[in-house]
Structure 1
Amino acid sequence: RCGYTGEDGFEVLVSPEAGVPLIKEMLTDERVKPIGLGARDSLRLEAGLCLYGHDMDTTRDPVEADLAWVIQKKRRERADFPGAERILKALSDGPAEKRVGIKPLERAPAREGTVIEIGGEPVGVVTSGGFGPSVDGPVAMGYVRADLAELGTKIDLMVRGKARAAEVCELPFVKPNYKR
């Protein structure tokens, strides 16, 4: 029951030969709407959900990624998990960088790898970005220096060699709407 979109939906996995007949049968119900991976990714981004290999990987810790909530209190106390020393230090001292929401102030979307600058100096990078259909505009996530992660911080996104105005904003862009 987790399509990883922030919405209450389903992903169905079947053998290749069962796929087309199943889709035809499901689409006879007017409540069923298909969605492709591109659409799922834009909804995932709007919901502020990380994608491994983009918004998080082995070079990022859960504190930087704003995912420290997944580490149980007992595990933190026992410090018995991989990377505990680094992660507990980041929890106590604060991370050097933080994952933030980014709202481009123009219509041009900032894609993964877009450099984030302030005053012509690089201060971070976009890890996921594109058009948000639910917000009818471009949205992005990325990492900036921790001192620049405050909501409303004005930044520039280097899109196709041109600085485009943006600001650090709250995540998620769209509140999740799934059943727990």
Structure 2
Amino acid sequence: MNTDIRRIVGLLGQIHILHRIYVHRALLATDIYFGQFPILEYVEKHDKCTQRELADTLQVSAPSIATSIKRMQKTGLLEKECDEKDLRCTRISITEKGRDQMLQCRRAFDAIDKQMFEGFSKEETAVFKEYLSRVISNLTTDEFKGKTMFSLIETMTNEKHVQRQGKEESI
């Protein structure tokens, strides 16, 4: 393999790790975990949405959303209430605490993004975006077409779980 390509892949990995460190630090100041932030943003914009809407929008499993919602209720970020017209359906709303912490994270994430692209012109940013889009396109097989970042993370997590189970069974 070309050493330049290997170096670029290494740099992309380093960017990913540095970004995750900064995001992790920003989240430490809140009761929010990494995967919960997009849930809070969605619920804030779509008050009284259902778990199914969330799962469909983020392209993750209903059990995954249900687990996150329960955790977020326990920490006071979200609340659930029965639908007035259909008692089998529950509606999800963001609490004031959830909104405050989501906005705190949004400001921190925007600052991280700004720092990351410090010194880049609009043209350079557009070209960089195009290059990254081409890399993603090259890696996106039919299996991954149209998937959100969150559903890709869930796929990766599920594959790790299956792999771990396989190792445990072979012992």
TM-score tier, shorter chain, comes to under 0.3
Q: 1 or 2, which has the higher strand percentage?
A: 1
**TM value normalised by structure 1:** 0.24
Q: 1 or 2, which has the higher helix percentage?
A: 2
